[in-house]
Amino acid sequence: MESLKEYLIAITKILVGLVILIGGLSALDIFVYLSVTGSTFSEEVAHAFVDGYDQAYSSTYDTSYEAAYDRAYDKGYAKGFEIGLGRIYKDKVGRLVEIHNPTYSELKEFLAADETNLNTYVVGEYVCYDYVAELNNNAEAAGLRAAYVRIRSKNWAHALAAFETADRGVIFIEPQSDKEVQIEIGEPYPWWQVGAASPTRHQAELTEIQIIW
Amino acid sequence: MKGLLISLAIVLLITAVGLGASALVHINLANSLESARETGFDEGDRDGYERGLIEGSIAGYQEGSKRGYLTSNSLFGPSENKENFYFIYNPTYKEVQSILEKDELDSAQDMIDYAVINGIRIAYVRCQTVPDEEKGKVRLYELVGFETVDNGFIIIEPESRSEVEVKVGVSFSVLNRLPAASHDDTIDKITVIW
């Protein structure tokens, strides 16, 4: 009886030792790995994803861009030549639309002169996309190229304008206030900071940005 | 002596099991990272291709069309002092018909993307119906418009690729001789955005 008890104690000790050793080694392994990389495991997975994404994106983008550029250049040249001839021979008068991407200061001048932002927001009658439509159509009439931008979250949608400035890249404008706004997937829209009427009380993050030039 | 050997064997067994478990954890970590990297690679490859295709097409077309336009001007007529312009033109009615023949363009966004890549001036036409009586919801017809040089302003319903008319206060299906809609499709508001 006594020896059986000793056996059981010995086996228990062995099992406990086994569990401790396995656990210890596993924990040590993870600890050493994460200490070396200086991050958590989920961060490591996210980094690996981003690394792979960036690597593939840049190489494929360049190849795809160059091939598309060359094809489109020839196609564009032919169409440009044709439209240019039309202007001279007056057979297709007015086909070319007088428009250009503004500089940043041109954009600011246009916004300062344009009065779309002074309109009153009326629920169901004159809302966000009405502001954008008016601003963009005024911009085109003034010879500036503008985009209609739709943004969405889980529980709201909104519209704003964008301009591809020659010197500062794409600038997003909240047409209810003419303020510049930064938008990013995963971030909330700064309704209050840019003086826009919010269609919701929810501060949900953006899930989609659609730019229609 | 026998006890010592058994103890030694047990220690070796425990050590082996421990090392095995450690190796498994390590492999699992490495596999997760490799899998994440591969997924990222695939998505990056797809996005890079699409983005490069669109941006390369737009940039190439713009550069080529401007050069072509200025060349024909300088060769055959008084040259215009144009450098800073974005090449965009109003199509002929026939050119719009050739866009409608493209099967892959079956949404407003597809048509707009195609037009932007090819320097064609296009409008987004947003048609809103009257609110639903029960839920108060409105429905949208997302259409596109072209200012054709020979046939005026025309509106296209991208899904059916057909020319349509829109008028506030009139049913979309009645106006366009379409089968009756399951909801009230009376147009309440039309917004044209260039």
Q: Does some domain include residue A96?
A: no
Could you give the CA distance from residue A127 to residue B6 in angstroms, rounded to a whole number? 83
Query: What per-residue confidence (pLDDT) applies to B81?
Result: 65
Give A191 to chain B, closest Cα distance, Å: 23
Could you give the CA distance from residue B162 to residue B183 in angstroms, rounded to a whole number? 21
B153 interfacial to chain A (CB closer than 8 Å): no
Residue where one domain finishes, among candidates A57, A88, A119:
A88
Quick one: A120 and A196 in the same domain? Answer: yes
The enclosing H or E element of A147 equals strand A147-152
Residue A28 reports pLDDT greater than 80: no
Residue A69 to residue B109, Cβ atoms within 8 A = no
Structural domain count, chain A:
2
> Which residues in chain B have Cβ-Cβ distances shorter than 8 Å to A72?
56-61, 64, 117
Q: Does some domain include residue A129?
A: yes
Residue B48 to residue A51, Cβ atoms within 8 A = no
In B, residues 29-88, which contact A (CB 8 Å cutoff)? 29, 32-34, 36-45, 47-73, 76-77, 84-88
Q: Which of A17, A56, A136 sits opposite B48 (nearest CB)?
A: A56
> Which residues in chain A have Cβ-Cβ distances shorter than 8 Å to B67?
76-77, 80
Quick one: A121 and A84 in the same domain? Answer: no
Residue A197 reports pLDDT greater than 80: yes
Quick one: A197 and A168 in the same domain? Answer: yes
Quick one: A37 and A63 in the same domain? Answer: yes
Query: What per-residue confidence (pLDDT) applies to B32?
Result: 86
Q: Which of A29-38, A71-80, A115-124, B92-101 has the lowest mean pLDDT?
A: A29-38
Per-residue pLDDT tens over the stretch B7-61: 778 778 877 877 787 788 778 878 888 899 899 999 999 999 999 999 999 999 9
Higher pLDDT, A85 or A56: A56
Residue B152 reports pLDDT greater than 60: yes
Alpha helix positions (H), chain B: 2-76, 93-100, 108-117, 172-175
Q: What percent of chain A has pLDDT over 70?
A: 90
Residue A29 to residue B25, Cβ atoms within 8 A = yes
Average pLDDT of span A200-212: 85
Quick one: A109 and A194 in the same domain? Answer: yes
Residue A90 reports pLDDT greater than 70: no
Average pLDDT of span A86-93: 58
Read off the pLDDT band of B121 (50, 70, 90).
Answer: very high
Domain segments of chain B as ranges: 1-86, 93-193
Per-residue pLDDT tens over the stretch A143-188: 999 999 999 998 889 999 999 999 999 999 999 999 999 999 999 8
Query: What per-residue confidence (pLDDT) applies to B73?
Result: 78
Domain with A203, as residue range(s), is 104-212
Residue type, B53: L
Quick one: A15 and A83 in the same domain? Answer: yes
Quick one: A58 and A8 in the same domain? Answer: yes
Quick one: A153 and A181 in the same domain? Answer: yes
Query: What per-residue confidence (pLDDT) applies to A70?
Result: 92
Measured in whole angstroms, how far is the alpha carbon of residue A196 from the centre of its chain?
A: 20
Per-residue pLDDT tens over the stretch A117-152: 999 999 888 999 999 999 999 999 999 999 999 999
Quick one: A207 and A128 in the same domain? Answer: yes
Read off the pLDDT band of B126 (50, 70, 90).
Answer: very high
Residue B90 to residue A56, Cβ atoms within 8 A = no
Q: Which of A49, A77, A213 sits opposite B39 (nearest CB)?
A: A49
Quick one: A119 and A200 in the same domain? Answer: yes
DSSP B36: H
The enclosing H or E element of A181 equals strand A179-181
* CATH number of the CATH domain containing A166: 3.30.460.70
Residue A81 to residue B69, Cβ atoms within 8 A = yes
Could you give the CA distance from residue A144 to residue B194 in angstroms, rounded to a whole number? 11
On average, the pLDDT of chain A sits at: 86
ipTM of predicted complex: 0.74
Higher pLDDT, A156 or A18: A156
Q: Does some domain include residue A145?
A: yes
> pTM, whole model, 2 decimals?
0.76
Average pLDDT of span A95-122: 93
**A152 strand-pairing partners:** A157, A208
Alpha helix positions (H), chain A: 2-37, 41-89, 104-113, 128-141
Q: Does some domain include residue A165?
A: yes
Give B177 to chain A, closest Cα distance, Å: 28
Residue A93 reports pLDDT greater than 60: no
Q: How far apart are the first and last CA of chain A?
A: 89
Quick one: A73 and A148 in the same domain? Answer: no
Q: Which residues contact B14 (CB under 8 A, 6 or more apart)?
A: A14, A17, A18, A21
Average pLDDT of span A67-72: 93
Q: Which of A41-45, A76-80, A205-209 has the lowest mean pLDDT?
A: A41-45
